[in-house]
Amino acid sequence: MNEQIRARSVMVIDNDGQQLGVLPIAEAREQAAAADLDLVEVSPNSEPPVCKIMDFGKFLYRQNKKAHDAKKKQKVIKIKEVKTTPNTEEHDYQFKLAHAKRFLEHGDKVKVTVFFRGRQIAHAELGQKIIDRFVEDLSGFAVVEQEPERMGKTLSLVLAPARADGKGGMKKITEESEQEVAESQPAPEQNA
């Protein structure tokens, strides 16, 4: 920018987007100063480098504003965790299942983690049964995003919401809605 540009001559574009041609750097700086603006190098790798006469402060402000607006529009997906053990009682299981459903309905991913304590690790199949039961009970609400993975004394699985309801949340996939989706898709062509 301005005095930091080291090239001897530059291609100059004015504030309105009109090309002024290749000018010596001193003349380009004078034109920028006359317009009370900055001379900014926009393409340093071209030959000669391309510089634009602009208000650099306003340019930075607009870039920050665009980045801020883009960040505002994006949806942040959170991962909620439901922890359990291989010998969790039925009531506790139903309680944790209800939490997982609520998280999925809000559009969050759910990580189901089974902790093994002490010698329970010898019976990893009990933890796998809990994981499989979660997958089966949440089949209408979620799809498996990450298969069950065993790390040390834990077994975990990540579930993602099944489908959006248009309001940012999720709704349960029923047989009717699955049939609607199947009917809306074109039938495969059959060779005669």
**Do residues 20 and 48 make contact, with C-beta atoms less than 8 angstroms apart?**
no
Question: Which H or E run contains 156?
Answer: strand 154-161
Q: Regarding predicted confidence, which is higher, 33 or 114?
A: 114
Q: Is residue 157 part of a domain?
A: yes
Are 112 and 133 in contact by the 8 Å Cβ rule? The answer is no
What total number of domains does the chain contain?
A: 2
pLDDT value of residue 180? 47
> Apex CA 20: angle with CA 16 and CA 26, to 5°?
110
Instruction: Report the percent of the chain where pLDDT is more than 70.
Output: 83
Mean pLDDT for the chain? 79
Distance CA 121, CA 99 (A): 26
Q: Are residues 154 and 107 in the same domain?
A: yes
Q: For the chain, state the CA radius of gyration.
A: 30
Q: What tokens appear for 177 in the block? A: 């809605």
- pLDDT tens-digit readout, 42-85: 877 778 888 888 888 888 888 899 888 888 777 777 888 999 98
Nearest to 79 by CA among 43, 51, 59, 104: 104
Query: Residue 44 sits in which domain range?
Result: 7-55
Strands (E), 66-152: 79-84, 109-115, 142-151
Check which CATH number belongs to the domain holding 97 and give it: 3.30.110.10
* Digit-coded pLDDT (tens) for 140-179: 888 888 888 888 888 899 988 876 544 444 444 444 444 5
